[in-house]
Structure 1
Amino acid sequence: MTMQDPRDKYRDEEVPDQHQEQPGLTEQTLPGPDHGEKTYRGSGRLEGRKALITGGDSGIGRAVAIAYAREGADVSIVYLPEEQEDADATVALIEQAGRKAVALPGDIRDEAFATQIVADTVEQLGGLDIVVLNAAYQKDRDGIENLPTEEFDRVFRTNLYGMIWTARAAVPHLQPGASLIVTASIQAFSPSPSLVDYAMTKAAQVAFVRAMAEELGPRGIRVNAVAPGPIWTPLIPATGWEVDRLAEFGQDTPLGRAGQPAELAGAYVYLASEDGSYTSGAVLPVTGGKHL
């Protein structure tokens, strides 16, 4: 692969006016996100591993699923039922890499479901070595006085409750060398007022990662987070922003553009692989140069 100027990568793609309802779908996201379908090349760094990815149908989750499969892992993805079309495409990409794929539709706001996905993954893949807690929900907020209780409850139950329920169920199945990886955010460190409830959950996720790294380290289980900056996924046009904000999304980074899901895949591979064997309790920024 030839070296490229990171400022110019993807820059020519304009963002048209678009509006989606949550959770957002890949086909309706313009320009289409790059998940590494044509570019990610594996080298066997996760050969034989078993991975569970929440929010694995699209965006960052799909990019991680592609990378893990091409690195030799079998992959189970969790997604909302209305994202079935995206999930089918991700399953096909995993299987094209010659790995086993498991599709688990449901809502991780439901404690029983968020717990059951672990047992289903262990049963269908024959074990569990990597857990990527990636599912998330965000929405633009027009002032805290206009923040409905049912909305911040949805954010907290998706981003925190579901994460904890799945992690709690997963830990007893994890052996030394296993890895828990949380998708945090630059919002944990530099919160936007219009994403206040989302940012609060991301800050809590960082605390979770640091505490769990201390708790699980003596058992040989590593716990880390990736903190994305502005990444172009279906979640973004479904956040509720106006066309001008969408068009400017990511342009305030030092690299001058939004990132693509494919540009995060390597971070998740590193944290799950033996390359990251001495990395735990870390928050790895992939932010286009923005500081955490």
Structure 2
Amino acid sequence: MDSKSAQHQEHQPGREAPMYPAPDYMPLYPGSGRLEGKVAIITGGDSGIGRAVSVLFAREGAKVVIVYLEEEEDAEKARDLIEGEGSEALLIAGDVGDPDFCKAVAERVIKTFGRIDILVNNAAEQHVREDLEDLDAEAMKRVFDTNIYGYFYMIQAVIGHLKENARIINTASIVAYRGHPELVDYAMTKGAIVALTRSLAVRLADRKILVNAVAPGPIWTPLIPASFPPDKVERFGTETPLGRPGQPNEVAPAYLLLASEDGRYITGQTIHVNGGEFPSS
């Protein structure tokens, strides 16, 4: 990150195409077939962490379904990247805060690919609230609709299609553990995601379906310039022990661990990828 990184986007959840420097999303190593034959749904898979996970999963052999809100350019780029890895991509645009849309996603995936093996709940939005008075009920509801209800609706939609050894991976955040003074509602949803992950892991253990979470720290994604003013974007991530923000392709391997056979004895857990911060568990 250099001085050119001072930037801002007005649209949530942000677009990757105009970011500078561009986030690093390409996998860091050759694939080894760890997800061969699998079908993965990734919400928010068009950009940021979701894009990095999508491309990595494709490199490891999975067919990838990208669920996104409306960022067509980012989604088409992600499709090109997945197909460039020799895999298949399905793009589905819509709002995960709508339970009927989530049901339609699951039905379309089954119709197209015949199975669902992995669900990555990753779509999110956040808004800086300088004053608690700005946190009106409707604004807070919108964040909850995307960040926690959207996760639950997607789980409800796919749960009947998941078989033994299926995986659900939720994107939490470091703010679920240490909070954030200007992202109170966002932090609330991320805390709820941790509780959802732990509860669902116990509930689904007898079906041998594994449920885990990844809690990223400061990662350079479109959500950052779409959330913070340019001066804060410019300094983003510099206060971590490693002194820089992380890149999406530095988080994606945690999702691969949890999605693959390497993670077959992990459930109800959260992997922290945050540049050296030590949140309370």
Query: Is residue 120 from structure 1 mapped to residue 108 from structure 2 by the alignment?
Result: yes
- The alpha carbon displacement at 1:16 in A equals 2.6
71, 76, 93: which one pairs with 1:105?
93
The alignment's TM-score, normalised by the length of structure 2, stands at: 0.96
The aligned runs of 1:75-86 (5 Å cut-off) are 75-81=64-70, 83-86=71-74
Runs of 5+ consecutive residues of structure 1 not aligned to the other structure:
1-10
Q: Distance in 2 between matches of 1:13 and 1:269?
A: 33
Q: What one-letter code is carried by the residue in structure 2 that aligns with 1:27?
A: A
What is the DSSP-based 3-state SS (H/G/I as helix, E as strand, rest coil) of the residue aligned with 1:280? coil
* Contact 1:13 1:31 (8 Å CA) reproduced: no
- The alpha carbon displacement at 1:14 in A equals 4.5
Query: Is residue 263 from structure 1 mapped to residue 253 from structure 2 by the alignment?
Result: no
Runs of 5+ consecutive residues of structure 2 not aligned to the other structure:
none
What is the DSSP-based 3-state SS (H/G/I as helix, E as strand, rest coil) of the residue aligned with 1:279? coil
Partner of 2:148: 160
How many aligned positions are there?
279
237, 242, 248: which one pairs with 2:229?
242
Query: Is residue 23 from structure 1 mapped to residue 13 from structure 2 by the alignment?
Result: yes
- The alpha carbon displacement at 1:12 in A equals 5.6
Q: Distance in 2 between matches of 1:210 and 1:14?
A: 40
Q: Distance in 2 between matches of 1:198 and 1:125?
A: 34
The aligned runs of 1:105-254 (5 Å cut-off) are 105-239=93-227, 241-254=228-241
Q: CA RMSD in A?
A: 1.3
* Contact 2:177 2:191 (8 Å CA) reproduced: yes
Q: Distance in 1 between matches of 2:31 and 2:121?
A: 22
* Contact 2:218 2:246 (8 Å CA) reproduced: yes
- The alpha carbon displacement at 1:17 in A equals 3.1
Q: Distance in 2 between matches of 1:155 and 1:174?
A: 27
Q: Deviations over 1:166-210 (max 9, x none)?
A: 101111111111100000000100111100000000000000000
Partner of 1:43: 32
The aligned runs of 1:271-282 (5 Å cut-off) are 271-282=258-269
Q: What fraction of aligned residue pairs are identical, expressed as a percent?
A: 50
Deviates more, 1:242-251 or 1:278-287: 242-251
Q: Distance in 2 between matches of 1:17 and 1:33?
A: 14
* Contact 2:2 2:234 (8 Å CA) reproduced: no
* Contact 2:225 2:233 (8 Å CA) reproduced: yes
What is the DSSP-based 3-state SS (H/G/I as helix, E as strand, rest coil) of the residue aligned with 1:28? coil
Q: Deviations over 1:50-101 (max 9, x none)?
A: 10000110000000000000000001010012x0110001011111111111
Q: What one-letter code is carried by the residue in structure 2 that aligns with 1:219?
A: R
- The alpha carbon displacement at 1:114 in A equals 1.7
- The alpha carbon displacement at 1:125 in A equals 1.6
Partner of 2:276: 289
* Contact 1:50 1:130 (8 Å CA) reproduced: yes
Q: What one-letter code is carried by the residue in structure 2 that aligns with 1:275?
A: D
Q: Distance in 2 between matches of 1:20 and 1:250?
A: 21
Q: What one-letter code is carried by the residue in structure 2 that aligns with 1:66?
A: V
Q: Deviations over 1:109-141 (max 9, x none)?
A: 111102211111121122000000000010111
Q: What one-letter code is carried by the residue in structure 2 that aligns with 1:15?
A: S
